[in-house]
Amino acid sequence: EAGVVQSPRYKIIEKKQPVAFWCNPISGHNTLYWYLQNLGQGPELLIRYENEEAVDDSQLPKDRFSAERLKGVDSTLKIQPAELGDSAVYLCASSPHEGPDTQYFGPGTRLTVL
């Protein structure tokens, strides 16, 4: 069974530029999460989807971050415009059930904003 796929794995951009990350969850997993992880720290939830509905986006900075999960499968996380402080690893995870249960993480996208 294929795991959670994320792309790109690395991205370097200038500040104020836009950037997008893509996630393909494990087939059949209805719940999808986007996390932000700073170096050496634990992931922090940005948004959680149940199918195509964003059920928890309270931690998503909506002035510059947006996300979508069309058709309840793949998801895209966008930042526009990026700031220096956005440099981090962006992790996508999926789960077969509603709620945390067992989350399966992708390898993440490491973003560097110059």
Q: Are 20 and 76 in contact (CB under 8 A)?
A: yes
**Eight-class DSSP state of 84:** G
Asked if 105 is part of the footprint of another protein (rule: CB under 8 A), the reply reads yes
Asked if 40 is part of the footprint of another protein (rule: CB under 8 A), the reply reads yes
The CA-atom distances, in angstroms, between 59 and each of 56, 94, 96 are 8, 18, 22
Asked if 8 is part of the footprint of another protein (rule: CB under 8 A), the reply reads no
The interface region with another protein, picked from 11-19, 35-43, 65-73, 74-82 by CB under 8 A, is 35-43
Cα–Cα distance for residue pair 63/109, rounded to 1 Å: 21
Q: Which of 82, 91, 111, 113 binds another protein (CB under 8 A)?
A: 91
Q: Where on the chain is the footprint of another protein (CB under 8 A)?
A: 4, 40-45, 48, 55-56, 91, 93, 98-100, 102-108
